[in-house]
Structure 1
């Protein structure tokens, strides 16, 4: 099983490409360019979490939707708006790596 997952992960992809393309309009508009690499990293991590929630709930989208809404509301709506400049960039790098 791990070899199969590794092969899929490295050579086929996990279906995260549509999510990355969906978020493309945010790059340069909502997120300044220094934040873009870590934003893409956070998308990659969030894809795994959302997929795990979806699979563990037998295909229900309720928990992934609540997770996504919580991350957006707390992160973008509450915490990130309190920071600017280098502090915001540092916060994104902390957030993206966790």
Structure 2
């Protein structure tokens, strides 16, 4: 989910996108990307989705984990509202801007040019997973890498759906990424098997979200409502 000391550079995709666009399309291509980063007039409902869905899924997973017998780590310190706000802002500007500019800003439009939206989203999920391979042994291991990997594909499908319905806004995926990683602070509440169960519950809920998007939008993720 991304930490300050992780062995990857979150702004790497941003730098790569800017370099490639400079070579391929010059200043107009770079300006077009920057314009989509600043594309914020998408309707309040999409803000509710990108900010609320990751939090809802994480809190629901936490509640189900507790209901199934998980016990929080004693005396665990959790950030207050100010701490969460600071965490959100940092993730938005470091990981959200750094990664989503490359994933949804540069790569996704090019994948969509040759694939249906669902296929493009799954391919981008694979790229996302490969990019995060250096985190194996740091944030992911044999106990959680499978639910994490499945959730990456599901996150990619849901985020592609949002991208398509907000005119190609890169800001919306940035906000969703930041919301998701900020909510991940709840992982501190659990250890061992309780934390592994949380991963699987969380993964299952993301699978449900992705299936709902596909059911509503079809393979192009934007089926017109009848």
Q: TM class by shorter-chain length?
A: 0.7 to 0.9
Match of 1:28 in 2: 137
Q: Match for 2:196 among 74, 82, 89?
A: 89
State the alpha-carbon separation in 1 of the partners of residues 204 and 136 from structure 2. 18
The answer for unaligned runs of 5 or more in structure 1 is none
Give the ranges of 4+ consecutive aligned residues of structure 1 lying more than 3 Å apart after TM superposition: none
State the alpha-carbon separation in 2 of the partners of residues 19 and 96 from structure 1. 16
Match of 2:175 in 1: 66
Give the number of equivalent residue pairs. Answer: 88
State the alpha-carbon separation in 1 of the partners of residues 140 and 166 from structure 2. 32
TM-score norm. by structure 2 comes to 0.36
State the alpha-carbon separation in 2 of the partners of residues 68 and 93 from structure 1. 19
More helix by share: 1
Match of 1:56 in 2: 165
TM-score norm. by structure 1 comes to 0.80
State the alpha-carbon separation in 1 of the partners of residues 123 and 165 from structure 2. 16
Match of 1:40 in 2: 149
User: Greater RCO between the two (CA within 8 Å, min separation 6)?
Assistant: 2
Q: Aligned pair in 2 of structure 1 residues 20, 91: CA closer, same or farther (>3 Å)? A: same
Match of 2:41 in 1: none
State the alpha-carbon separation in 2 of the partners of residues 33 and 66 from structure 1. 29
CA deviation after TM superposition for structure 1 residue 28, in Å: 2.0
